[in-house]
Structure 1
Amino acid sequence: MPGPSTQSAPAPAPTRQAAAASPLLPLAVILLAVFVVPMSISGTAVALPGIGADTHAGQAPLQWVVNAFNVAFACFTLVWGSIADIVGRARAFTAGAAVYAVASLASALAPGTLLLDAARALAGIGGAAIFSCGSAILSTVYEGPRRAKAFALFGTVAGLGVAIGPSLSGALLQAVSWRWVFALHAVALAVVLLAVPVIARAVPATPRTAATIDVPGSAVFVTAMVLLTTAIVQGSQWGWGSPGVLGLFAGALAALLLFAAVEKRRAHPFLDLSLLRDRRFVALCLVPVAGSFGFVTLLTYLPSYLTTVTGRGTGAAGLLMLLLTAPMLVFPLLAAKLVNRGVPALAVIHVSLGALVVGDAALTLFGPDVSVAVVAVPMIVTGAGMALAAGLVDGQALELVDPAKAGMAAGFLNTLRLGSEAVAVALYGSVFTTLTASRSDDSAFHLMLWGLAAVCLALGLLISALLTRRTTTP
């Protein structure tokens, strides 16, 4: 297919020597921005009751305070990655951080939910740039053991943001108001923007090429993702078989087919489909999908099980959830150390997939009267399954890609990551609601755990098969 290879003189790949003099400063700046994004995702949900009480909003517009961010994030992750490869990763990262800062300030000042929803969608667009361009910058600036440690910290900080988000938002709600949840994000991103020159000096300049931003491809792709993610978000509310949801899915499929047709005709495509011919790259991009089903769903729904079925208070449930999230603070760095000491990265990734399967299955030990000692190990194992691959899989996937396409590749990986989280959480909620119509919450929860373990096992087998087959060269 026509693509960047048609250029008469391919641009030289960026080098990673610029960060040698001060390797920690650009990493610290990127990690601060990365910390804010997942903290916003997990923390905003806690602020919804306060927002509703203050703005007198109904349930639907209130829920879109969360959904607008998630949908925009999923839709624009790949867009930013592709743009970064053309205009420069530091410049694209800066633009995303600026968008996020302005959107967070607008969220803090919003007089009603309509403007708040719009501001959260804008923040999602900025957050997509931070994740895509941030990981692409790390793959460009660092190499060897430094690179492995940088991506391990990337995964650790993202997990820390998810874990701290609800507690920090709850504290701000009690101390001041929900508006300070978003104001804090704006302040953090203002600090990031002040330190942007540090990143600009560390990142090699993107070589000038004849490539231009693929506006038609980007527009069609965003349309497809908006339709798809909206269908997933609304599926549990409207019904998966409702005309509205089926129409959204049909529109998304048509837009994706149109996207494939458009990209085949572009000299400089928005997504170089040759990336998908590398089986190892595709396999590594599927690893976060397993994490979405095996870990993110539990992160979302286990707290309600702990309060409604086991009778624990919200405080006790929150403390117990630390057993699931605490591994995110330890295991990404442990994985990096193991790899730096000679343990094959793919072996660590296979262990992570196995831990998700074993952990989800063992969590069926949960019951109304089960002690913490019985479920502590399964919870830690499940968290370790997510944490061992966090960051590591990003670094391994981007190593397989031409550095000139690192932004595009990072965007594709994070699109699968965010998109699969939306799918996993929505499917879990819909199926669980159906099961509880004919059985107890405890029984339905156990069936869902077996289902999650089965999905992780199937994905693990598929990933293993793709990793062991010889890659097809274009």
Structure 2
Amino acid sequence: MVAVSTQGSTSRTTSWLPLVAVVLAVFVLMLDATVVTVALPAMARDLDGDVTDLQWVMNAYTIAMAAVQLSAGALADRYGRRRLFLISVGWFAMASVACGLATTLTMLIAARVAQGLAGAIMFATTLALIGQNYTGAARGTAFAVRGTTAGIAVVLGPVIGGLLTDGLGWRWIFLVNLPVAAAAMTIGWSKLRRGEELLRHRRIDVPGPLLLAIGLVALVYALLSANNRGWTDPLILSCLTGAGLALAAFLVVESGLTHPMLDLRLFADRTFVATQIGSFTVQGSVFALFVFFSVYFQNHLGKSVIGAGLSFLPIVIPIMIAGAAVGAFLDRIPPRLTIGVSLALIGVGLLLMLGVTERTGWSHFLAGMVVTGLGCGVALPVLGALAVDVPPAQVGVAAGVNNTALQLGFALGIASYGAVLGTFPETAAGFADGLNHLIAIGAGTAIIGAATATVLLRSGQRRTAS
């Protein structure tokens, strides 16, 4: 491959201002994945839709991000991570305005798709920007801050959404993005390093993201609709079949392209594979459960929207503490140890939450939340650092693969948990019983992910093709 460097200094900076730009973008991006959760009833009233249909307000955003993450990485490798970061932040801000001004459900979902597409580019460039702006211990700290910020934003989404919805109206959960995006663009324009190693010859893959999007939409639709229509319904079977065919065709197409958005050679590296499994596991095991915990806290424990959000602090605080602590030692701890232990901690923490009944109080979750938060706080920065531990010219694609794994874990986790919960009676006891099953599935996912990643990392060697 032939790489070229853009004009500008190639020295790395120890200033933390580039990280500020990245963190602001990551925060608003991840916040918008969950901030709408508590606002769905208000949206349903204003836009004349029901809450079931409005699930697509969440899913349209996540699926759009997952579908084009890989192309976003390839675009960043070709045209520049800094340039595309700034463009995507501006695009995200405009899409947020469209969300806030939407007058119909269709307009809102379309604007959320636009948000997700911009978000994919933002997310794909943030890991790469940290990689090219920092080195050594500073890089470890930067990855820790980014990972911690992402986790906190996901958890705080319902709290901030509740505050804004109750105080100003649901439209402000989108409009509030404008000043944050403006700050990220201003700081990023002046402080992000301009010198980058680029692949000018790289062609952009079009069939790949199209097939991936078709497969994901069909799969998520089937999971969300199967309980209402029945798993043997012709439409559901057609969606599941179509999803399988589209995803299989995606792999075939990617394997035959000279410059695919998904370079399958990356998966010859066991460390790279373990990183994707770990990233998928964190999102699918615990973060996807937050939606259902929020419902339980509000509808079954009688907490307010704000109170339900504050109930997640026992997870947020350990994520902050562990994330900050691990950053200083990131390059001195074996990945096999950190990833295996952190995923296992998530599994153990979820197991401690089992035993939910219709009379269970919030304190029942406390110990499990603390342990789970510690696991997430260690896992997020370690996985973020390993995700871009590839040759410089492949950083964008590698970051895109990792972000796809994260988004898929979140989207498929929510859809799968919703499908399981839909099989239980719509009563307090039925929801509690269903929540126990979801927690058990999440714990099993984390423990299996820990074991698999540990085995892969034990014999993993960096063999990324250049």
How many Å separate the matches in 1 of 2:9 and 2:146?
Answer: 20
Q: State which of 364, 371, 375 in structure 1 corresponds to 2:354.
A: 364
How many Å separate the matches in 2 of 1:442 and 1:208?
Answer: 52
Query: Who is 2:244 aligned against?
Result: 253
Letter in 1 for 2:265: S
Query: Who is 1:81 aligned against?
Result: 73
Q: State which of 270, 273, 295 in structure 2 corresponds to 1:279.
A: 270
Question: Which stretches in structure 2 are left out of the alignment for 5+ residues?
Answer: none
> Does 2:281 match 1:290?
yes
Letter in 1 for 2:256: R
Query: Who is 2:338 aligned against?
Result: 348
Letter in 2 for 1:249: L
Letter in 1 for 2:316: T
How many Å separate the matches in 2 of 1:56 and 1:435?
Answer: 27
Query: Who is 1:70 aligned against?
Result: 62
8 Å CA contact retained: 1:236, 1:426:
no
8 Å CA contact retained: 2:99, 2:171:
yes
Letter in 2 for 1:360: L
8 Å CA contact retained: 2:339, 2:454:
no
Distance of aligned partners of 1:433 and 1:281 in 2 relative to their CA distance in 1, 3 Å threshold: same
8 Å CA contact retained: 1:287, 1:393:
yes
How many Å separate the matches in 1 of 2:22 and 2:403?
Answer: 16
Letter in 1 for 2:235: G
> Does 2:429 match 1:406?
no
Deviations 1:302-328 (A, max 9, x none): 233344555656555443322133222
Query: Who is 2:452 aligned against?
Result: 462
Letter in 2 for 1:243: P
Deviation at residue 277 of structure 1 after TM alignment: 1.0
Deviations 1:338-377 (A, max 9, x none): 335x333431222111101211111125445556655422
Deviation at residue 118 of structure 1 after TM alignment: 0.7
Task: Report matched runs for 1:42-57 at 5 Å.
Answer: 42-57=34-49
> Does 2:414 match 1:425?
yes
Letter in 2 for 1:430: A
How many Å separate the matches in 2 of 1:174 and 1:375?
Answer: 26
Query: Who is 2:22 aligned against?
Result: 30
Deviation at residue 282 of structure 1 after TM alignment: 0.4
Deviation at residue 228 of structure 1 after TM alignment: 3.3
8 Å CA contact retained: 2:279, 2:405:
yes
Deviation at residue 268 of structure 1 after TM alignment: 1.6
SS of 2:176's equivalent in the other structure is helix
Equivalent pairs, count: 463
Query: Who is 1:319 aligned against?
Result: 310
SS of 1:178's equivalent in the other structure is coil
Q: State which of 377, 391, 403 in structure 1 corresponds to 2:381.
A: 391
SS of 1:391's equivalent in the other structure is helix
Task: Report matched runs for 1:236-247 at 5 Å.
Answer: 236-247=227-238
8 Å CA contact retained: 1:398, 1:410:
yes
How many Å separate the matches in 1 of 2:140 and 2:253?
Answer: 36
Deviation at residue 391 of structure 1 after TM alignment: 2.3
> Does 2:196 match 1:181?
no
How many Å separate the matches in 1 of 2:282 and 2:17?
Answer: 30
SS of 1:195's equivalent in the other structure is helix
Bigger mean CA offset, 170-179 vs 219-228: 219-228
Deviations 1:260-317 (A, max 9, x none): 3322332222211100111110011111222123311331212333445556565554
How many Å separate the matches in 2 of 1:16 and 1:323?
Answer: 45
> Does 2:247 match 1:268?
no
Letter in 2 for 1:359: G
Deviation at residue 85 of structure 1 after TM alignment: 0.9
SS of 1:267's equivalent in the other structure is coil
How many Å separate the matches in 2 of 1:263 and 1:174?
Answer: 47
Task: Report matched runs for 1:106-145 at 5 Å.
Answer: 106-145=98-137
Identity over the aligned pairs, expressed in percent?
A: 29
Deviations 1:224-247 (A, max 9, x none): 333334434444554444322322
Query: Who is 1:4 aligned against?
Result: none
SS of 1:213's equivalent in the other structure is coil
8 Å CA contact retained: 1:236, 1:429:
no
Bigger mean CA offset, 459-468 vs 408-417: 459-468
How many Å separate the matches in 1 of 2:363 and 2:55?
Answer: 36
Q: State which of 323, 326, 340 in structure 2 corresponds to 1:335.
A: 326
Distance of aligned partners of 1:192 and 1:236 in 2 relative to their CA distance in 1, 3 Å threshold: farther
How many Å separate the matches in 1 of 2:311 and 2:287?
Answer: 16
How many Å separate the matches in 2 of 1:145 and 1:38?
Answer: 25
TM-score, scaled relative to structure 2 = 0.90
How many Å separate the matches in 1 of 2:210 and 2:441?
Answer: 36
Bigger mean CA offset, 383-392 vs 309-318: 309-318
Q: State which of 298, 305, 310 in structure 1 corresponds to 2:296.
A: 305
> Does 2:362 match 1:376?
no
Question: Which stretches in structure 1 are left out of the alignment for 5+ residues?
Answer: 1-6
How many Å separate the matches in 2 of 1:311 and 1:83?
Answer: 47
Letter in 2 for 1:193: M
Query: Who is 1:3 aligned against?
Result: none
How many Å separate the matches in 1 of 2:183 and 2:303?
Answer: 39
Deviations 1:120-165 (A, max 9, x none): 1100111111111111111222221111111101011112212332
How much is the aligned-residue C-alpha RMSD, in angstroms? 2.7
Bigger mean CA offset, 171-180 vs 388-397: 171-180
How many Å separate the matches in 2 of 1:66 and 1:431?
Answer: 18
How many Å separate the matches in 1 of 2:109 and 2:44?
Answer: 13
SS of 1:103's equivalent in the other structure is helix
Distance of aligned partners of 1:203 and 1:215 in 2 relative to their CA distance in 1, 3 Å threshold: same
Letter in 1 for 2:456: L
Distance of aligned partners of 1:172 and 1:440 in 2 relative to their CA distance in 1, 3 Å threshold: closer
Distance of aligned partners of 1:346 and 1:203 in 2 relative to their CA distance in 1, 3 Å threshold: farther
Query: Who is 2:204 aligned against?
Result: 213
Letter in 1 for 2:125: C
Distance of aligned partners of 1:303 and 1:58 in 2 relative to their CA distance in 1, 3 Å threshold: closer
8 Å CA contact retained: 1:332, 1:390:
yes
SS of 1:434's equivalent in the other structure is coil
Q: State which of 436, 440, 464 in structure 2 corresponds to 1:446.
A: 436
Letter in 2 for 1:302: F
How many Å separate the matches in 2 of 1:467 and 1:216?
Answer: 33
Letter in 2 for 1:34: V
